[in-house]
Structure formats: C-alpha cells, structure tokens
Chains A and B, each alone.
Chain A
Amino acid sequence: MQKSLHIDPGKCTGCLQCESACSLVNEGMVNPSKSRIKVFTFHDEGRFVPYTCTQCDEAWCMQACPVDAIVLNPVNGSKDVLSDVCVGCKVCTIACPFGTINYNTSTGKVVKCDLCGGDPECVEACPTQAITYVDANATGLDKMRAWAAKTDNAAGA
C-alpha cells in the first residue's frame, strides 16, 4: 500500500523541527531555507501551515522536464529528481502550479520532496503529529481536495 504525507495544520505549533530535519537529512545542514517542506505563518490568525509536494498524479514537473530528470518512484509513488541528470533549466519550477519544486542556487539543480525514499524525516521530527505518513488510497484529486479543505481550516481566512 502506498503512503502519503498527511498534514493537519491545526496541530502545527510552528516549531520548524520539520524544516530542520528535512534540510539536515537532505542537504547535510540545519538550514530551513533549504528545506523541502516549508511552514507558512499566518500572523494575523496565529496559524501555521506546513507545505510541501503532494506527489500529485498529474506530475506537472515530471511532464515539463525536458531531459527526463524527474522520475516516478514505483515503490512509494513519489516523483524524484535525478540530480545528476537535471541540467538546472528550472522549467519545472514554473510548470508546477503548487510551487513545490524549487531551484537550489548553490547546487544549480532543482529539489523537491521525495518522501525521503519512504521514511519521511519531517514526520519523525514533528512533535505534535501535525505531519503523519498514512496509507494513500485516495486519488490525486481527492488528495488535493482534502488538502484544500485542511488549508482552509488552517488559514481561517
């Protein structure tokens, strides 16, 4: 059974442990600016929304890549960037309508969440279970809708 990240912004305290863990494991340094999961802060409402790639079925990034550097991971369903194939053209960063694949200026490659190969560090790091890794039996659209509803609660706008 494939699993996916489930994010419940209502439980997020904004501690940013997920960002630290993500950057440490994936970039070798604690540097939230290099994290693939980003916690957005809505100061007006005192709310926090962790945000990362949903591994959407449409895979806009993968389709837009001109050199086949983004591939489907058959085990966990993530769309993974092959760093040695990526030329750094950044077309995926404008093609992804969620804004969840980004260019890393220090490596000259793009980065995105790959679910840490099936054992997401952000989940491990989250002290309040705002981020969990659960069975993914929903379709991509259902996933997005669920996500949308969660974001609604969180933003409270």
Chain B
Amino acid sequence: MHYVIIGAGPAGVNAAEHLRKYDPSGQITMLVAEDVPPYSRMALPYYLVGNIAAEGTYLRKNENHFESLGITLKQGRASSVDTQSKRITLLGGETIDYDKLLVASGATATRPPIPGIDSKGVHNCWSLRDAHKIVADTEPGSKVILMGAGFIGCIILEALASRGVDLTVIEMENRMVSRMTNEVMGTMIKDWCVAKGINVLTSTKVSEIAEASGDDSLRVITEGGETLPADVVICATGVRSNTAFLDGSGIQVDMGIVVDDFMQTSASDVYAAGDVAQGRDLSTGEYYVQAIQPTAVEHGKLAAQNMAHGHKTPHPGNVNMNVLDTVGLISTSFGMWMGVEGGEEAEMSDIENFKYLNLQFKDDVLVGASSLGMTQHVGVMRGLIQTGAHLGEWKDKLLKEPNRISEAYLASAQRQHVNLGA
C-alpha cells in the first residue's frame, strides 16, 4: 500500500504519523513544497519578533523524526493528479503512483487585484521565506503599511510593532478581525492598537500602490484619495485554498476541496485535509473551509483513520475557533460567536479594562462564544459547544453573570458524562 500525501503542514504531518500508527508496513511518501523541513505558519510571528530561531517553527524537532517513522519526505510540488491511473505528476515531470492519496496542500496568501500590487516592496506574510524578507527589509523607523486587519494581519502586528517600525493598518471592514469579533469587541481591539501607537484605518480601501520616483519607496493611495508613504507594504488581505493543480482531475472543488464525512473527495481513494479541505463544521453541519490549526490536525488524523481502516469513522465536524494575540490583547472566538436565530445572548463588557465576554445560547446549550482579555480556562467554551451540554439552571445564571462560565462547565458538561474522545 502506497500512501502519498501532498503537503507537509500540520494536516499532512499528522496524517503521515497516524497512517504509520495504523498501518505499520505501508509505504508513506509526503511531498514537501518548500525547501525547508515541515514548519508551522502559526509560529512565524514569533520568528519575526525574534523570540525563536527558524528551527523553532519546525513542526517536529527531532531531525530524524520522519526517517525513524519510515515516512519519506520528497521535495516537490504536484502539478496534476490523474485519478484514473492513480498517478500524480510533479512540476518537472516526475510521476508518483499512489494507492491512496491525501491532498493537504494548504492555502496561499492572495493579493487584491489593484494597480501596483506586485511592486517590489509589497510582501505577503505567509511563508518562512516571506518572513525572512520582511525581517531583511525593515528596520526601526521604516514606514510599514499592513493591508488587512484579519487574523493573520493582527497576529503579525506585534512582530512588526516590536521591530520599531512606523506602522499603519488599513482594513476595509468597519472593525478589526471582523470574522471573529462583533462590533464592540472589534472596536476595543482597534482602540487597544491605537493606544499602542499603531495607526489603524478601518472602513478604508486601498485603490492603488504607486512606486515613488527617485527611490524604492511606495505610495499607498486609498479610495478616499489619501496618499500614504511606505517603505514596505505587507498584504494580509486573505488566503485561498491551493487547488489549481487539481484542474482537470475531476476532483470537485468549491471554496476548497469538497469532502464527505470520511474526508474522501469526489474521487475514490483521494482524500483531503486541512486548509485545502471544505470539511464539516460542527455548529452548522455545513461544509466550510475553516483554515485553522486544530482543524487541520483533526482532519489529518481522521483522514488517516479512514484511509487505513476503511470508512468507519465519520466526521462529527469541527468547532470553528480562533485565539489571537493583538499586541498583547488576547481574544478568542468559538462556534456561532455571532449568535443564531432564536437564540439568546449574555454579554459582559468592561471597555476601560479591555475585558469582554459574549456567550450565545440556543435553548440551554452554548453554541458560540467570544472573549477579550481572558486567558484562564477559555477552553471550557469549546468543551461546552462541542458536547452540546445542557446547562439547565446554569443558563439563567450565565445570562446574569457570563463570567461564571467555568463553573457552569464544571456543573453541567462534566456531570453529563460527556464523551470528548475522538
């Protein structure tokens, strides 16, 4: 049995390790696209800030880890997949035959289609190579404009701010991290950033990036007609699943690769996991590209189970969730943080001290939550959402005092003998 895995991020690596566990004698080949050992994008901001060396971003620290498990790492990028002859072709023409294939090719940062977006001095912050370039091109006092205050934009803010650069963030939505915050929380994050000396422009769209004459600097022009000078522009406006090489394969792609509850794609013996896969969302039951680390890991494991053991482990769905550190202010969001129709909401807001907690209920079940400035026991929000535990009388207590969430968890979820095993 030859298992081939396209991609060496968290989904690919976890799948490879679990395949080895479930099938001690199978042949496992993992395609690594970049010319560095498998690493974590989650760790890049900490590399950028100088807390860790590049090696600190590696997913596995033991140099012989993959070799010792009999997992062959092969450098290369897939250019096409033939699901009839079960063969993938790499850029350069080499082919690899598979018995079972896992596509875990992840996502890539995109750039908006505006004039000048490909100017020298415009970077993404997605790969280790991008991070190296940003480090090389910035110094204290450099004028840096960050386009996009989404999750990735915010997580690299601290790294940029701590490099002593003169930083401006431009976001087209009316608040920061609009995909994980409501207006109250998003505005608090903005106020926090402004207090830290970061210039934040929300509800602002960049219309053009122009190269200044005479030097290497850039001019960022907004739709409102404002012109902002910049030495470096960092584009963090969005990512897209890496599916282009599947064109012509017949494998069905929507926002990401469409998978069933066993992580199998529309082609038999081809599976998908991680940021490239449109997997089941636990809260909605719909199929959605979550593009988050815990989901990538769980997808990888689940795909491996189904590839090695047959389709015995249906996917219950993943809780969509995020944790974000914006220049020291920590926010989380879980499940249906924006609420559901016919649901109820509990809110605790301490704007002066940058503390906020919002709980969303459907009947007596927690279905979503978001928090700001909380670091203790935040995982219980996942626990409650994932188990669907009935809160009973605790729901009324939480409507009055949402910050008793940990007690509510102890009193309800754990009492109901919930099975969190996967």
Q: Are A67 and B419 in contact (CB under 8 A)?
A: no
Q: Are B43 and A66 in contact (CB under 8 A)?
A: yes
Q: Are A94 and B334 in contact (CB under 8 A)?
A: yes
Contact with B along A120-157 (1 / 0, CB 8 A): 00000000000000000000110011011101101101
CA distance A95 to B14 in the complex (A): 16
Q: Are B415 and A157 in contact (CB under 8 A)?
A: yes
Q: Are B59 and A148 in contact (CB under 8 A)?
A: no
Known: A91-B294, A140-B421. A148 touches B407 (CB 8 A): no
Interface size on B, residues (CB 8 A): 56
Give chain A residues whose Cβ lies under 8 Å from the Cβ of B328: 105
Q: Are B10 and A95 in contact (CB under 8 A)?
A: no
Q: Is B80 an interface residue (CB 8 A)?
A: no
Of A91, A141, A152, A155, the contact of B293 (CB 8 Å cutoff): A91
CB distance from A66 to the nearest CB of B (A): 4
Q: Are A105 and B46 in contact (CB under 8 A)?
A: no
CA distance A154 to B386 in the complex (A): 23
Give chain B residues whose Cβ lies under 8 Å from the Cβ of A144: 414, 419-420
Known: A66-B40, A91-B294, A98-B383. A148 touches B375 (CB 8 A): no
Q: Is B284 an interface residue (CB 8 A)?
A: no
Known: A51-B410, A66-B42. A148 touches B415 (CB 8 A): yes
Q: Is B323 an interface residue (CB 8 A)?
A: yes
Q: Are B46 and A87 in contact (CB under 8 A)?
A: yes
CA distance A79 to B379 in the complex (A): 16
Main DSSP-derived SS at the A contact region = mixed
CA distance A102 to B375 in the complex (A): 6
Q: Is A96 an interface residue (CB 8 A)?
A: yes
CB distance from A68 to the nearest CB of B (A): 5
Q: Are A90 and B330 in contact (CB under 8 A)?
A: yes
CA distance A90 to B43 in the complex (A): 11
Known: A58-B420, A91-B293, A95-B382. A40 touches B406 (CB 8 A): yes
Q: Are A97 and B325 in contact (CB under 8 A)?
A: no
Give chain B residues whose Cβ lies under 8 Å from the Cβ of A38: 376-377
A-B contact count (CB 8 A): 152
Q: Are A63 and B297 in contact (CB under 8 A)?
A: yes
Q: Are B46 and A97 in contact (CB under 8 A)?
A: no
Q: Is A101 an interface residue (CB 8 A)?
A: yes
CA distance A36 to B187 in the complex (A): 32
Give chain B residues whose Cβ lies under 8 Å from the Cβ of A64: 293-294, 297
Give chain B residues whose Cβ lies under 8 Å from the Cβ of A154: 410
Chain B's closest residue to A90 (CB) is B323
CA distance A56 to B414 in the complex (A): 13
Q: Residues of B with Cβ closer than 8 Å to A? A: 10, 14, 40, 42-43, 46, 51-52, 56-61, 293-294, 297-298, 301, 321-323, 325, 328, 330, 332, 334, 375-383, 386-387, 392-394, 406-407, 409-412, 414-422
Q: Can you show 22 pairs from A to B with CB atoms below 8 A apart?
A: A40-B406, A40-B407, A40-B410, A42-B407, A57-B421, A58-B422, A64-B294, A67-B61, A87-B46, A90-B375, A93-B379, A94-B332, A95-B294, A95-B379, A98-B379, A99-B381, A101-B379, A102-B378, A104-B375, A144-B420, A148-B414, A148-B416
Q: Besides A67-B58, A99-B383, A102-B375, 8 other CB < 8 A contacts?
A: A63-B301, A67-B43, A67-B57, A90-B375, A93-B379, A94-B379, A144-B414, A148-B415
